[in-house]
Structure 1
Amino acid sequence: MSGMTWLITGGAGYIGAHVARIMTGAGERVAVLDDLSSGDAARLPDGVPLVRGSVLDRELLDRVLSGHGVTGVVHLAAKKQVGESVEQPLRYYRENVHGLTVLLEAVADAGVERFLFSSSAAVYGMADADLITEDAATVPINPYGETKLAGEWLVRAAGRAHGFATTCLRYFNVAGAAGPELADTGVFNVIPMFFDRLTRGDAPRIFGDDYPTPDGTCIRDYIHVADLADAHLTAARRLARRDGAGDLTVNVGRGEGVSVRTLARIVAEVTGHGTPAVIEPRRPGDAARAVASVGRIGGELGWTASRGVREMVESAWEGWLLHHPECVPGVPG
């Protein structure tokens, strides 16, 4: 136990609840702020205080930081759907950038000295590399990625100006669940999209099979959400140490690529739904390959992912069946 009290914004969300669970399980003191627009209070461990509200509410932030004696912040609250960000850029900039600005002002005034920021590989845009290092050009191609890059700039600048230590974690493709009750309930990422179509009797869709990759489909780096949560715990504890001052930006992935066609095959094996995938035209903005270089997180934090893609699919499928009982054989819909 570090002696810190951590405020997790967005802590009732899919990723946030995993972070809250692993941090409390490791003995860290945690409070959660979440507007519950996409979160679920039932995901939180027993005894974790939940304040319902937004990071846009400065008066509420001041009360929470003071009332809970917060000494560090893990900031996960954000809008995160790429397509939606294209349709609603003003909303994304307000929630993700202005909301972060308000939070950082409150953090600075409260004297909080540690700040961990949830960023994304979307900051890289269409990076052209076998492995994307943290030094790669950051040229996002959608408003979501832009807000995450602007968020990194804000976090680093505020940390330098106000003397608090910062870490930015650039997530790659998050999947799986530490328990069925914590599974992602949205149908926005590729694995639940496959589940959704298969259990409705439709063929899963692969967008493009003419990429310059071994099987013609896009290659991505998938990280189990439980591993991602563990990376947060490790990063938070580094921040809590006296030698954790300054700024650190690291990728969080496995450093291994999996093609969409291979992923579709694993999903078919795990679910028992063998409907062949259909090939549809490429989507604008899809890079042929996006795989993390994980040398920096290994060197700086001594951290590596431990779970593979099949475990991600298996755990995600257990969660899908819990939240969609109509898909379970013999269970009335």
Structure 2
Amino acid sequence: MSKQEELISIILPVFNGQEFLAQAIESCLNQTYKNLELIIVDDASEDKSLEISRAFAAKDNRLKIFSNKENLKLPGSLNSGHAWANGNFITWTSHDNVLKPDFLEKHFQNIVANKADISYSNYDMIFADGNIKREHHPGPPEYLLFGNQIGASFLYRKKVFEELSGYDENLFLVEDYDFWLRAGMNFKYSKIEYNLYSYRIQPESLTAKIYNEREWNREHDQALSKMFLNLKEKLAWESLSVEFLLKLFKNDKSALRLFLNNKAAITKDFKKYCGKELNYSELQNELYRQLRMVLKQHPEANTFLNVLRILRQERNILMHQKFNKKETIKLICKSLVN
């Protein structure tokens, strides 16, 4: 396969994104990898997004525009964009984010070189003005049960989308996390240590609304619960495994007790998730770290009786070789006075 033999499709859903849309489009068209098509899916925007898109399309025939008659939300627009995509490799981006010039080239090379299905990388978190807040380093796919590890910078083979039957349109706000979670059971991930993307933090972004607005937060939690219930049905999990994960997401101190009371069932279910591509030992390491965080963040859970029970049933929550020994000693000492 030559360097730019394959067509790569970039899907860009947009809803009222006029402020940053031009920059997003330019970042897609100015890639070092030239054999691309940019598919803009306008989700019934009420601003100048469609006008901006058409102006770029008039200058570059690699850009195609499709306009939804009504607002389908992100997962619906993504599925529509994929249906129109001609490339065997696909990525998607948002109207307020930026692909760095070698984004496609580096991800494509990674997939080919490592015979992977999905490539992902580090990326910048930027403020609305473009200044960098920090660099984000996604974790390994084995950690997916505990959060969206893939993030915003990725490329995947079209067959991933096809075999997963696309994005679940009933899971708005977690549609991407659900997609990566389901992909983890059957497809090979490969991370590259390049910074290839800029993810913009701004008050109007979906992520900001989830964190800052109660109604959005409630809708996100409901979607998260549906997502894990779907996984439960697919893998024939015990209900308590879903309950445990949801408690971890809410930073609920009772997650520790629930795990210790049902360790065998929960670990059995987590092993089912790993499938053919994921290393259960890596997943287990993150599970220990998550439970250790419960002890650190909830001093009332770090009691002497709990510590004794942990040492008896799952000492790696405290004594794992990767954990800081001084911190472990402090946790144990604190338990003596709680």
TM more than 0.5: no
Comparing both chains, which one has the higher relative contact order based on Cα–Cα distances under 8 Å and sequence gaps of 6 or more?
1
So what's the TM-score if we normalise by structure 1?
A: 0.27
